[in-house]
Amino acid sequence: MPTRILFVCLGNICRSPAAEGVFRVLCPEAETDSAGTASYHAGEPPYGPMQAAAKARGLDISDLRARQFRRDDFAAFDLIIAMDASNLENIEALRPAGNEIPVRLFTDYAPTSGADYVPDPYYTRDFDGCLDLIGIAAKGLKTSL
Ligand code: 4NP
């Protein structure tokens, strides 16, 4: 059972911290973290509107801080979850030779949703829709462990 799970998006201020925040409540026995493939927001808390949408559902993600995804993460985690195909490609580009840990799209765990990626609410502004999809995928992920 993979117990160390890393959620990855682009900026690490919207989708992946929300995914981490949802999953750590749903599955407290797993070790979780999140990261962004880009460094723009390193050190920052989750984006205000995402924090507010999460808070409205009783989810506090204000303690999380953004960091950039790094090659070492392949050794530190058992499973890496990407929010979209571009994240997945950027993650795979850093995979060390010989490392074989799975990198999966989060929507793989939400087959009934019909979504094949988690749209970025930084651009769509649909923070609630993002949290809905994350909730479905998080339950699927927990069931898969
Ligand atoms: P995220 O959203 O990848 O879900 O954290 C983004 C937030 C900020 C930016 C890009 C994506 N940005 O370019 O600043």
> What is the domain extent for residue 53?
4-144
Q: Which residues contact 20 (CB under 8 A, 6 or more apart)?
A: 7, 32, 33, 34, 61, 64
Q: What's the rounded Cα separation, in Å, for the pair 50 and 131?
A: 9
Q: How far is CA 1 from the centre of its chain?
A: 18
Assign residue 43 a region (left: φ > 0; alpha: ψ between -120 and 50; beta: otherwise): left
47 C-alpha to ligand 1 centroid (Å):
9
CB 119, CB 129: distance < 8 Å? yes
In the prediction, which pLDDT does 1 show? 58
14 C-alpha to ligand 1 centroid (Å):
6
**What mean pLDDT is reported for the chain?**
97
Residues 8-67 pLDDT 10s: 999 999 999 999 999 999 999 999 999 999 999 999 999 999 999 999 999 999 999 999
- Looking at the predicted structure, is the pLDDT value of residue 2 above 70? no
Rounded to two decimals, the pTM is 0.98
CATH number at residue 135: 3.40.50.2300
Tokens of 117: 């990626």
Q: Mutation test of ligand 1: which of 7, 8, 9 has the most ligand atoms closer than 8 Å to its C-beta?
A: 9
Q: Please give the tally of structural domains in the chain.
A: 1
Sign of CA dihedral 119, 43, 27, 6: positive
**What are the catalytic residues?**
9, 15, 120
In the prediction, which pLDDT does 133 show? 98
CA atoms within 13 A on the CB side of 15: 31
